Copies of this chain bind each other. A is one copy, B any other.
């Protein structure tokens, strides 16, 4: 029997949205899936050797704010300098306290499980990104390459 296939397009580059592709990718790989993640647009941030991902409550009313902070800083407060850094620090601490692996660790887990990580060549060119900044083991290709695998996949997700 053929193994199942999972195709993911990762387009976001914030700390919170960095988890889904790597958690879903590594979980599927552990379940025996063949997995390919295509990083494009802001998603290329997730392939940097030195990650500097941040999270913001700005424009996301669905984010639970710790300590009732939303009462003290209603909306406008979320735009204050320092708030983004503070939320990023708090999210990382919470993940660590709860035993959730960091993005670095989840990404490594994906690579060990032979999840293929593909960087969108067009976006690399567009933003003049330096591929020396990216981790080893990444392939560079275009959207056509993505369809080759996605067209045969059992699950395809645009994140």
User: What residues of chain A have their CB less than 8 Å away from a CB belonging to chain B?
Assistant: 4, 7, 9, 11-17, 19-20, 23-24, 27-28, 30-31, 33, 40-43, 45, 53-56, 58-64, 74-76, 78-81, 83-84, 88, 94-95, 98, 100, 122, 125-127, 142-144, 147, 150-151, 153-159
Contacts and interface: CB of A to CB of B under 8 A. Distances in A.
Number of copies of this chain that the complex holds:
3
Contact of A74 (B61, B81, B143, B153): B81
Nearest to A154: B151
Contacts of A95: 126
A125 B97 CA distance: 11
Given A30-B144, A151-B154, 18 more contacts: A7-B155, A9-B20, A9-B157, A11-B20, A13-B63, A14-B61, A24-B143, A27-B143, A27-B144, A31-B144, A42-B64, A58-B58, A59-B60, A75-B80, A75-B81, A98-B125, A156-B156, A157-B157
A60 B42 contact: yes
Contacts of A74: 81
Contacts of A20: 9, 11, 40-41, 158
29 contacts: A13-B60, A16-B41, A17-B62, A19-B41, A20-B41, A24-B143, A31-B144, A42-B60, A43-B62, A54-B61, A56-B59, A58-B75, A59-B60, A61-B88, A75-B84, A76-B79, A79-B79, A94-B126, A94-B127, A95-B126, A98-B125, A98-B126, A100-B122, A150-B155, A151-B154, A151-B155, A156-B156, A157-B157, A157-B158
